[in-house]
Amino acid sequence: MSETFTACLIIVGNEILSGRTKDANLPFIAERLEKLGIPLKEVRVVADEEPAVVKAVNECRAVYSYVFTTGGIGPTHDDITSECIARAFGVRLIRDPRAVKLLQSHYEDPSQLNEARLRMANIPEGADLIDNPVSRAPGFKIGNVYVMAGVPRIMQAMFEGIAPGLRGGPPVLSRTVSTRLGEGVIAEGLSAIQGRFPDLTLGSYPYYRIGMVGTSLVARGTDVARLDAAAAELRQMIRALGSEPIEAPPKE
Amino acid sequence: MSETFTACLIIVGNEILSGRTKDANLPFIAERLEKLGIPLKEVRVVADEEPAVVKAVNECRAVYSYVFTTGGIGPTHDDITSECIARAFGVRLIRDPRAVKLLQSHYEDPSQLNEARLRMANIPEGADLIDNPVSRAPGFKIGNVYVMAGVPRIMQAMFEGIAPGLRGGPPVLSRTVSTRLGEGVIAEGLSAIQGRFPDLTLGSYPYYRIGMVGTSLVARGTDVARLDAAAAELRQMIRALGSEPIEAPPKE
């Protein structure tokens, strides 16, 4: 598997840390990045506090090919991500004329574009804007950091805009084989298969659904033939243990 | 608000980073910790890779009062959290006789307690066990780090076992006032209220539901009277802007 490209997601938001809001951006970004061959290696959720955001951004941008952030670019006082990114990069936060123009195009009545909304045009100097086809207020890219909105449908639209410009490796693919057997029964055989497929990552995930207990075995990697070979060995192992593989894992 | 006690959650698991599994532990732990007066300040999701887990554990245990981990303590080869914690603390990983006994009590047929399952009795030397009333295989506590299972119902049972032993500050409480007004309209008044309530944290969260667009304003803090006063000011601000506050925010 290519390890050349890696990504980190930083979720900025007290509402996630308090449990009030359930984040919906992680799974979307994770799945899209796998298709782009840029595996997500770390996620951090940080508070709406400047030191926390600056520290996370600077630590992560030094380690990963790409850093994506979600949240904190709206018009209210608790939206501090843009200031934090400017601080992290040691650049000024400026009222970006391109962003002002975008906001002007969104509000028919010019009086609606008040000072609070104009804060959404404050962008670190030197950043490129990220298009927001939903509500105009842009995200931005500076260095290897991509700053996006927290509202899922806006974030998703922003991501689709930047995706074609991201360089990645071969897409990360997966094969899943499920079984009613417990993890303890299959662990030894699974470990042996992992040993024969060092180029793949094999994971074992117990599931508990109404009336159903079992384990999903997931092989991840970039080579279709190797994935198919590993899946065949997983099925064979399950049969050797006296059970039948389940091809379609039960829905979560 | 007391800032004496803080918590960090480390979620260990490739399945979360790939988007395959949606984490359900963060909201549970966040809400329980607020009641215990131990606000969750950071969450990290890290891969099933020793350097990543060790680094996250050592960074976070130095900064926060408590670190909780979920995931990676099962019987398969990709369950590496216990080894990583031992490495992070610089202690040996031992086959803990107390944990072996717990596992023996769980399997009626002794032959079921194979080597893979016995791996779940490998515990860092000097750790205290955390009870698992669901399936016996214990979690453990070492220093200020609490290591729990990833399966939500097991994690929840483990958490309820350790909760009475956690020292926290006053419970973090909240008041929510919603409105059909947009964030840009209320931002200025909200910021002024935040200025008058520096002891509270005011957050603004836009919502988009079928047929409904608006904003939920959330005040968080530990003093009931102050929270009620802030909520009253939020309602007053909304009325002054020509709208009506919505007491029950729409369900997510």
What pLDDT score was predicted for residue B252? Answer: 47
Nearest to A30 among B17, B186, B208 (CB): B17
φ, ψ for residue A19 (rounded to 5)?
85, -5
What pLDDT score was predicted for residue A252? Answer: 47
Residue A230 CA to residue A232 CA, distance in Å, equals 5
CB B42, CB A47: distance < 8 Å: yes
Q: Is B164 on the interface with A (CB under 8 A)?
A: no
DSSP H or E run through B226? helix B224-240
Nearest to B78 among A30, A46, A203 (CB): A203
**Token pair of B69 as six digits:** 């981990």
Reported ipTM exceeds the 0.85 cut: yes
Chain A residues close to B187, C-beta within 8 Å: 75-77, 114, 116-117, 119
pLDDT tens digits for A202-242?
A: 999 998 876 788 999 999 999 999 999 999 999 999 999 99
Whether A3 shows a pLDDT value over 60: the answer reads no
Question: Which of the four pLDDT bands, split at 50, 70 and 90, describes residue A81?
Answer: very high
Nearest to A183 among B31, B74, B203 (CB): B74
**Nearest-CA neighbor of B77 among B50, B107, B44?**
B50
What pLDDT score was predicted for residue A250? Answer: 52
Q: Is A26 on the interface with B (CB under 8 A)?
A: yes
What pLDDT score was predicted for residue B247? Answer: 75
pLDDT tens digits for A44-63?
A: 999 999 999 999 999 999 99
pLDDT tens digits for B198-246?
A: 999 999 999 887 678 899 999 999 999 999 999 999 999 999 999 999 9
The end-to-end CA distance of chain A, in Å, is 27
Q: Exposure string (b/e) for A178-188, b if CB count within 10 Å is 16 or more?
A: bbebbbbbbbb
pTM, two decimals, is 0.96
CB pairs under 8 A between A and B: 188
**Nearest-CA neighbor of A83 among A50, A131, A128?**
A50
Task: Label the pairing between strands B40-46 and B7-12.
Answer: parallel
Q: Which residues of chain B have pLDDT under 50?
A: 1-2, 252
pLDDT tens digits for A121-142?
A: 999 999 999 999 999 999 999 9
Q: Is B198 on the interface with A (CB under 8 A)?
A: no
Report the residue of A45, A80, A120 to disrupt the B interface, i.e. the one with the largest count of B CBs within 10 Å. A45
Note whether A17 contacts B30, CB cutoff 8 Å.
Answer: yes
Chain B residues close to A203, C-beta within 8 Å: 14-15, 48, 78
Chain A residues close to B45, C-beta within 8 Å: 26, 42-44
Note whether B78 contacts A204, CB cutoff 8 Å.
Answer: yes
